[in-house]
Amino acid sequence: MRSLWREGEQIKMIDQRLLPQKLEIFTASNEQDVAYAIKEMVVRGAPAIGSAAAYGVAIASDPKKAAELLKATRPTAHDLFYAISIILNAIEHGEDAVKAADKYAEEIVEKCRKIGEHGEKLIKHGYRILTHCNAGALATLDYGTALAPIRMAKDKDIFVWVDETRPRLQGLLTAWELEQEGIEHAVIADNAAGYFMEKGMVDMVIVGADRIALNYDVANKIGTYEKAVVAKENGIPFYVAAPLTTFDKSIEDGSKIEIEERDAKEVYGIYPRKFRARNPAFDITPAKYITGIITEEGIIELDE
C-alpha cells in the first residue's frame, strides 16, 4: 500500500494522524478536501504533499483557484509549489491533468527508489544510523528519502536510532515503518541523540528535507539543525536525502526560506495552556554541517 493513490476522481491517503495506533484511509473528493489533508497533516512529507497538491489541482473544476488554495496550506516544503506548477503547465499545454498528476506521482516513487540505491552504498555492515522525523514511504508515497537507503541496506545488520521528533512524535511513524521492514531500531527522546553520538554509538545520520536552497542550506523538521551540529562535533557523517524537486534554485540561502509556525496546541501535550508556547515546524541546517545530499542522480558531496 502506498501512502497516497488515486481511485477514479477520489484521492485516497493513509491518515497519518492516527498512526501507529490505527490504520485508516482518508478520502479526498475535491481540492478543499486535499487542502484540509495537507494543512491538518493527514498527509505529510514534502514529496507526498507535492503529489497530493498535484491531484488537488488536477481534479478541481477551477485549477488556478485550486492552486492558490493549496499553496496557502503549508509554506516551507518546495515540492508542494513545484508539483502545482507542473500540473498547471500541463493544463496550459492541453494535457490531461489527472494523467499528469499520475505521472508526477510515479516519478516521485522512482526518484525515491534511486535515492535508496545511491544511499545504500554509503551504509556499511553493522552501521548504527540516526534519523530524525519521518522520511519513509509514508512521507513519499513509497520507498522514502532518508529511509530508502536504510530499507535497501536491511541485510547489512544495521540498527536505527529513531528520534521521537516532538511535538507530533513523527518518529513513531518511522518506527512503525521499520517494524514492517523487520529492521532493528529503538525510539529515543530527541534530547538523547547527542548522548548516543558522544558515546560512539552512532555511525551516520540520514534525514530528509523540505526545501534546499541554492547554496545547499536545508530546511527540515525542527531539531535537525542541532543534530547536524552535534554530529559535526563528533565526526559523524551527516547526510540529507531528497529528490531534486526539493531543491529551490530561487532561494539563495536558508535565511530566505519561510519557516512554518504551527498552532501552539501541538506543543502543550501535558502542559497547562496558561504557559506560553511557540511551535516552529522546521529549522535551517547550514550546508557546512552537511556531509552530502543523496539525490536520484547521485550524491552531492559537501564536506570537503
In the chain, where does the domain assigned CATH 1.20.120.420 lie?
A: 4-111
Identified catalytic residue from 210, 217, 248, 283: 210
pLDDT tens per residue across span 209-246: 999 999 999 999 999 999 999 999 999 999 999 999 99
Closest by Cα among 60, 68, 217, 243 to 140: 243
- Euclidean distance between CA atoms 154 and 149, whole angstroms: 9
Q: How confident is the model at residue 304 (pLDDT cuts 50, 70, 90)?
A: low
pLDDT at position 36 is 98
Closest by Cα among 277, 278, 266, 286 to 224: 286
Q: Is residue 269 predicted with pLDDT exceeding 80?
A: no
In the chain, where does the domain assigned CATH 3.40.50.10470 lie?
A: 121-301
Q: Indicate if 210 belongs to the active site.
A: yes
Angle between the 46-58 and 63-71 helix axes, to the nearest 10 degrees? 150
Mean model confidence pLDDT for the chain: 96
State the CATH architecture for 4-111.
Answer: Up-down Bundle (1.20)
Fold of the domain built from segment(s) 121-301: Rossmann fold (3.40.50)
pLDDT tens per residue across span 99-125: 999 999 999 999 999 999 999 999 999
Report the predicted TM-score, pTM, of the whole model to 2 decimal places.
0.95
Handedness of CA 246, 211, 45, 284 (dihedral sign): positive
Closest by Cα among 212, 210, 188 to 201: 188
Q: Is residue 126 predicted with pLDDT exceeding 70?
A: yes
